[in-house]
Amino acid sequence: MKITQTENNDFVVVAIDGEIDLDSSPQMRKIFQELMDKGKSRIVIDFEKVSYIDSSGLATLIEMMQRLKKIQGQLSLVQMSDKIRSLFEITKLDKLFSIHRTQAEAFKAI
Amino acid sequence: MFALKNRHSEHFCFPSDLRKIKDASQKVLSTLDDLKLNKSDLFDIKLCFEEALINGIKHGNKGDIQLNIEAEVIKAEKYLEIIVRDQGSGFDFSHCVDPTKEENLIKTCGRGVFLIHKLMDKVRYEKKGSCVHMIKYLSKKEKSH
């Protein structure tokens, strides 16, 4: 998994390229911890290049969202493929997360 | 229950090592190339196989690296069956909470089994849960989700 971070005013866009799963979740958790340590609390995850996510990946996202909530932060998810979006719908996690089609929509909503 | 005609099966044995999940998954999925499955079905099969493998290692074999996980892929004319067996004493999956209930949404566990049931067409357990049979029907229209 490759992770690229871009700062955009108050937001940090974290673009993930690859699979979010049991193997890569620790790497994602580490990046989020570093961002929170730097005081970044508004995070947008760009899923455009995410090809796969498993239950460990979903659990890691829930954990990150909960941690951001505790510091009045926010986590938005954007540009999901239809397949990955369907997993959020099946698990009803689409009710828990702020999911948007584009980064622009996410910025507008935050 | 299932027709024996045109069945082809392959057996695998993997170590109880979470670091080897991807290797195991690649080996199993590579045997499906000839089925020319669509991307959505492949995604589902990969996810369910990996979740079953993780459950077998974590809950079945309790992470004991000395134990193995056996897998069997059965390709039949109209369906694909994947069987995953651990060497543990079983696990009662009926006690798994429904992760879609509002009070469980923020829980970080329990979605693997739930996804297996949602993404495969038939799921059944044997040996007190230490063996799971997962069936996906082939040549069907892509699901809407």
ipTM, two decimals? 0.93
The chain B residues in contact with chain A (CB within 8 A) are 18-19, 21-22, 39-40, 43, 46-47, 50-51, 54, 99-100, 105-109, 111-112, 114-115, 118-119, 145
The token pair that represents A87 in the structure block:
């997993």
Sign of the CA dihedral A73, A78, A82, A84?
A: negative
- Residue B143: per-residue pLDDT: 46
pLDDT tens for A39-80 read: 999 999 999 999 999 999 999 999 999 999 999 999 999 999
Nearest CA in chain A to B19: A23
What Å distances lie between residue B17 and A18, B28, B35, B58, B88, CA to CA? 22, 16, 28, 9, 14
- Residue B93: per-residue pLDDT: 77
pLDDT above 90 covers a percentage of chain B that reads: 78
Residue at token pair 């923020």: B106
Between chain A and chain B, the number of residue pairs with CB atoms below 8 A apart is 53
Check A90 against B115: CB less than 8 A apart: yes
- Residue B85: per-residue pLDDT: 97
Residue B119 contacts residue B134 (beta carbons within 8 Å): no
Q: Which of B18, B22, B47, B57 to mutate to test the interface with A (most CBs of A within 10 A)?
A: B47
- Residue A110: per-residue pLDDT: 75
Check B51 against A87: CB less than 8 A apart: no
Low-confidence ranges of chain B (pLDDT < 70): 1-5, 139-145
Nearest CA in chain A to B47: A54
From the list B67, B32, B62, the residue with the least C-alpha distance to B49 is B32
Residue B126 — φ and ψ, nearest 5°? -130, 165
The token pair that represents B105 in the structure block:
């949404």
Check B21 against A86: CB less than 8 A apart: no
Check pLDDT > 60 for residue A19: yes
- Residue B1: per-residue pLDDT: 47
How many CA atoms does the CB half-sphere of B102 hold within 13 Å? 0
Note the pTM of the prediction, 2 decimals. 0.92
| Alpha-carbon dihedral A98, A99, A105, A108, rounded to 10 degrees | 0
Chain A: closest CA distance from residue B23 (Å): 12
Nearest CA in chain A to B38: A83
- Residue A76: per-residue pLDDT: 97
pLDDT greater at residue A101 or residue B1: A101
From the list B44, B11, B28, the residue with the least C-alpha distance to B121 is B44
Show the DSSP H helices in A10-102 as ranges. Answer: 25-37, 55-70, 82-90
Chain A: closest CA distance from residue B59 (Å): 15
- Residue B145: per-residue pLDDT: 47
